Chain A
Amino acid sequence: GQSLEQPSEVTAVEGAIVQINCTYQTSGFYGLSWYQQHDGGAPTFLSYNALDGLEETGRFSSFLSRSDSYGYLLLQELQMKDSASYFCAVRPGFQKLVFGTGTRLLVSP
């Protein structure tokens, strides 16, 4: 099976930098993804790492270490609109995407 652990909640102020960690256990691995979900909305894709290292997409970056079964999402220059839940997800095989427990990010002024 698969299990992914994330902190349940993170708080930060506007303009700050925040890191959301994800540790996973999986029997197969084809990459780690990150999704954002605002209250009442649908999950939307943010980033994907198949190989070790850092991927940068604007204010968001995602890191993966396959040897440590660990990844993180880094959000820079936080804005109020970044307040949302963030999920890591692993692809243990074809046609399967398993989500982590989710981290609620609260950004205050």
Chain B
Amino acid sequence: DTAVSQTPKYLVTQMGNDKSIKCEQNLGHDTMYWYKQDSKKFLKIMFSYNNKELIINETVPNRFSPKSPDKAHLNLHINSLELGDSAVYFCASSQGRFNTEAFFGQGTRLTVV
């Protein structure tokens, strides 16, 4: 049983399109994150949610809109895709205020052409 699952695994789309990535965790964690990993493998935090509430928005363009319908799900919608949005997007979850370990999904490789 996958702990943190993301869909789709691969996404190829044209500039200007709108796309969504879904994430679900079955660990009972209260905090979920979105990270972007670029071609140089730098992992940059985008958003953090705790119990469905937005905690952190790391100056991400407002074309990116996360939505958390419940604490087990955190989806990412991207409007008007740009070439620079091409990257691997990782969803992750952790538990507790002083949580020590984050569990990551398998990633979604987004390619904008």
Contact = CB atoms under 8 A, between A and B. Distances in A.
A97 interface: yes
Nearest to B101: A45
A33 B104 contact: no
Chain A interface mostly helix, strand, loop or mixed? strand
Interface hub of B94, B98, B100, B104 (most chain A Cβ within 10 A): B100
A94 B104 contact: no
Interface residues on chain B, size class = 20 to 34
B106 interface: yes
A72 to B, nearest CB: 18
B43 A43 contact: yes
Given A33-B100, A48-B100, A96-B56, A101 B42 contact: yes
Given A96-B45, A101-B42, A102-B42, A42 B100 contact: no
Chain B interface mostly helix, strand, loop or mixed? strand
Interface in A58-94: 85, 87, 94
A96 B57 CA distance: 10
Nearest to A97: B102
B43 A95 contact: no
Interface hub of A42, A43, A95 (most chain B Cβ within 10 A): A95
A19 interface: no
Given A101-B42, A102-B42, A94 B100 contact: no
Interface of B: 31, 33, 35, 41-45, 48-50, 55-56, 90, 92, 94, 97-98, 100-107
